[in-house]
Amino acid sequence: MAVTTDMQNDDYKYYMQDTGSLYLGAKFSYREILEQEAVNFKYKSIIEHYIFKDTDPETTLESQLYYMTPDQFSYRTYVQLKARVKVCILEEKKRFFGGVRTAYVNRTMKLDELVGMNLAQKKKHGVAVQELMLSKLALMAFNV
């Protein structure tokens, strides 16, 4: 049985939370996030009032975060929310007996670190955005 792209994307469409953070799978479009009953109401309000100023509702988190620039209003909004991004990235690893090998690793980085990489660097390192993490404390302090 062939696995369709939609079925594969569903693995990266999730919403979770713990005591300190909200976690959203990167394959979600903003429209899908707004349709999810479990997603925090305040985050939905922030999307409607701030993120949609420069983002189309059909844009996925993955696409927006990958191509985001510091001059975007949505970037400044996510910085206020203390956003972090989980990515899969190609890194060089030193071997025990010498030499270097490259391997994909999962890393969590601050949004400004990801946005600070230009597109050529992202492509060179095979960056794949997997998850958006937001601080609940920053979300609570954010005025809508």
Residues 123-133 pLDDT 10s: 999 999 999 99
Tell me if 46 is assigned to some domain: yes
Return the structure tokens found at 22: 């909200």
| Residue 83: both structure tokens together | 């956003």
pLDDT tens-digit series, residues 79-106: 999 999 999 999 887 777 777 788 899 9
Instruction: Specify the pLDDT at position 92.
Output: 82
Q: Is residue 144 part of a domain?
A: no
* Phi, psi at 119, each rounded to 5°: -60, -35
Residue 44 pLDDT: 97
Separation CA 96–CA 15 (nearest Å): 39
d(CA 126, CA 23): 22
Q: Is residue 14 part of a domain?
A: yes
How far apart CA 30 and CA 58 sit, in angstroms, is 6
As for how many domains the chain has, the answer is 1
Which tokens go with 28? Answer: 């979600």
Copy the structure tokens of residue 144: 């809508």
* Residues of the chain below pLDDT 70: 1-9
Residue 3 lies in a domain: no
pLDDT at 103: 87
Distance of CA 71 to the CA centre of its chain: 18
Confidence at residue 2, expressed as pLDDT on a 0 to 100 scale: 45
> Which residue segment(s) compose the domain that 71 sits in?
8-136
pTM of the model: 0.86
Query: Is 74 a member of any domain?
Result: yes
User: Alpha carbon 25 to chain centroid distance?
Assistant: 7
In a domain, 70, yes or no: yes
Residue 2 is assigned to a structural domain of this protein: no
Q: Rounded distance, CA 142 to CA 79, Å? A: 11
What's the CATH code of the domain at 123? 3.30.465.10
Answer yes or no: is 129 within a domain.
Answer: yes
